[in-house]
Amino acid sequence: MKIYINGKFYEKNEAKISVFDHGLLYGDGVFEGIRVYKRLVFKLEEHIDRLYESAHSIMLKIPLSKEQMIKTVIATLKENKLNDAYIRLLVTRGEGDLGLDPKKCIGKEAVIVIADKISLYPQRLYKEGMNIITVSTTRNAHEALNPQIKSLNYLNNIMAKIEATNCGYEEALMLNDSGYVAECTGDNIFIVKRNELYTPPECMGALSGVTRETVLGIAKSSKIPTHEHVFTRHELYIADECFLTGTAAEIIPVVKVDGRAIGTGKPGKLTVSLMKKFRELTKKEGVRY
């Protein structure tokens, strides 16, 4: 495996950054996860746009233009001779000192591109559906660290994931500080009620997921009513269907939440239909190389 770091490719065991990099010391940086399907980088431009938006929000200057970044991602895939892959694209604040001041890092920003395989959940869960549990760790408040910023500081999500795994679950549902449904540790959440689609709005603590936006687009083009609407766990429990979306997860059905069966307790018809339509999109939307 060859990993890109600041203009050069390194073997996996030689790919290193400074221990003084603020991305390591403080989680000061941004990232994107991107999927590749048969040499098609799915929604690459959308992912790049979000990366630069996150960086702008934290006043992190990315040393490459968007066009250069796209070429760098493609070059990394070609270097590793990958047709199907998961890309982890990171930009860190760079090397500084042991203080917090990001000004010490100006001009030392690091761009890292890793291309590898990923399998987030067992394949059987895509057919049978998964069980999830609500955890006590709430989603970051906008006033603390806006969830719209896809930063390297992922401790909030990790603490929720630890709660879930300690209880024997693959994924955790996170509420916001007002008790409304926000999202899961690495995925957005959708519910279906009377053949209409609902997902929490971004203001509730949900990341503006690229797969989330894709699903909303599929639904609208299929004339399925969609709503970005506030809802509680009660609305989730009595939903007809539920599923999660994410770059790594794609679309995965949820059949039980906090011990309550969702709908029939099996993946719903609308969920299965959206999964099929999403897979079709992965064959044609993105940048081919």
Residues belonging to the active site: 150
Q: How many residues does the chain have?
A: 289
CB atoms within 10 A of CB 130: 23
Q: Do 208 and 146 meet the contact criterion of CB atoms below 8 Å apart?
A: no
Cα(286)–Cα(289) distance, integer angstroms:
10
Cα(284)–Cα(58) distance, integer angstroms:
33
Cα(287)–Cα(35) distance, integer angstroms:
11
Token readout for 64 is: 């490459």
The DSSP 8-state label assigned to residue 242 in this structure reads E
Token readout for 184 is: 């899961």
**Phi first, then psi: what are they for 109, rounded to 5°?**
-55, 145
Cα(13)–Cα(259) distance, integer angstroms:
44
Cα(241)–Cα(253) distance, integer angstroms:
8
Residue 63 identity:
P
Q: Which of 2, 37, 36, 248 is nearest to 113 (CA)?
A: 2
Q: Which of 81, 80, 67, 70 is nearest to 34 (CA)?
A: 70
CB atoms within 10 A of CB 182: 25
Give residue 112's Cα distance to chain centre. Answer: 17
